[in-house]
C-alpha cells in the first residue's frame, strides 16, 4: 500500500512514473539504415599510368576479368622512345621488375578494340596517318616514334599506340609467343587482331612490350 501511494505521488508530481516504478530505460532505436547505406561501394583502381578495362564476355561466352594496362608501350612514358629489339624473355622480365606482367592475347585485343570492339583502336576503317604504320623498311635502325607522338592513335579505353609503332609481346606458356599490333611497317595490317608468332628467344628491331596487372579493390 505504501509503494502504491508513492507511485501515485510521483505520477502526479512529474507526469510520468519514476525510474524503478515500471519505466522502460531502453533508448528508442535509431531509424533503420537505407538499402544504399547498408551496401558497400566496391571500386577497381589502377595505378597511375594505367587504364582500367572492365570485365566482359569474350569468345564462346567466356568471362574476361577486369585488368589494368599501360597507357603506352614500355617503359610507359609519354614522349619517351619505347623499348624495342627485345625477346619475349626480356619483355617478361621488364614487366616483372615493374611489378606487372605481360598482357594475355585476349586482354591486349580487348584494350585495343575498346568498348565498341572496332578493328583499329581508333575506329572501323584504316587511316594511314593516324598511327605510325607507313614507314619504309630500314636494314639497320628503327622508324619507331616516342610514345604519344600520334595523339589520334588511341583506343576507346585511352590506350595509345596499339596499332603500329612497336609490336608487343603477350603471355605464353609454350616455347613460342604471340606478338600483336603490327609495327611502323605494317600499314593496314596493323589491326587489333594482327599478330604473328615467334620463338621466345628471338628478337627483332620492331618487337617491344606493354604490361598489364590486376586492379586493386577499394571498398567504401
* CA 153 – CA 60 distance, rounded (Å): 29
Angle, CA 110 vertex, CA 132 and CA 124 arms, to 5°:
55
pLDDT in tens, 171-201: 999 999 999 999 999 999 999 999 999 999 9
pLDDT in tens, 89-115: 999 999 999 999 999 999 999 999 999
Q: Residue 37's pLDDT band (boundaries 50, 70, 90)?
A: low
Which three three-digit cell numbers place residue 163? Answer: 596499332
Q: Residue 141's pLDDT band (boundaries 50, 70, 90)?
A: confident
pTM of the model as a whole? 0.80
* CA 64 – CA 180 distance, rounded (Å): 18
Look at the chain and count its residues.
Answer: 220
**Backbone phi, then psi, for 184, in 5-degree steps?**
-65, -5
Could you tell me the domains of the chain?
39-219 (3.90.1580.10)
* CA 103 – CA 108 distance, rounded (Å): 6
**Nearest-10 Cα torsion for 131, 134, 137, 141:** -30
Amino acid at each position: 500500500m505504501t509503494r502504491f501511494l508513492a507511485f501515485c505521488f510521483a505520477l502526479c508530481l512529474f507526469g510520468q512514473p519514476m525510474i524503478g516504478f515500471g519505466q522502460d530505460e531502453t533508448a528508442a532505436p535509431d531509424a533503420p539504415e537505407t538499402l544504399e547505406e547498408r551496401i558497400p561501394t566496391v571500386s577497381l583502381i589502377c595505378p597511375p599510368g594505367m587504364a582500367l578495362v572492365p570485365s566482359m564476355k569474350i569468345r564462346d561466352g567466356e568471362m574476361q576479368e577486369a585488368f589494368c594496362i599501360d597507357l603506352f608501350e614500355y617503359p610507359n612514358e609519354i614522349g619517351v622512345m619505347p623499348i624495342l629489339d627485345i625477346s619475349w624473355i626480356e619483355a617478361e622480365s621488364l614487366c616483372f621488375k615493374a611489378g606487372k606482367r605481360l598482357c594475355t592475347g585476349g586482354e591486349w585485343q580487348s584494350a585495343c578494340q575498346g568498348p565498341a570492339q572496332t578493328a583499329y583502336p581508333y575506329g572501323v576503317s584504316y587511316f594511314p596517318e593516324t598511327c605510325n604504320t607507313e614507314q619504309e623498311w630500314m636494314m639497320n635502325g628503327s622508324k619507331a616514334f616516342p610514345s604519344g607522338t600520334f595523339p589520334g592513335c588511341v583506343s576507346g579505353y585511352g590506350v595509345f599506340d596499339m596499332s603500329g609503332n612497336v609490336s608487343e609481346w603477350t603471355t605464353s606458356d609454350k616455347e613460342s609467343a604471340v606478338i600483336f599490333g603490327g609495327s611502323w611497317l605494317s600499314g593496314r595490317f596493323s589491326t587489333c587482331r594482327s599478330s604473328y608468332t615467334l620463338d621466345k628467344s628471338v628478337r627483332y628491331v620492331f618487337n617491344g612490350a606493354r604490361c598489364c596487372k590486376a586492379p586493386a579493390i577499394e571498398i567504401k
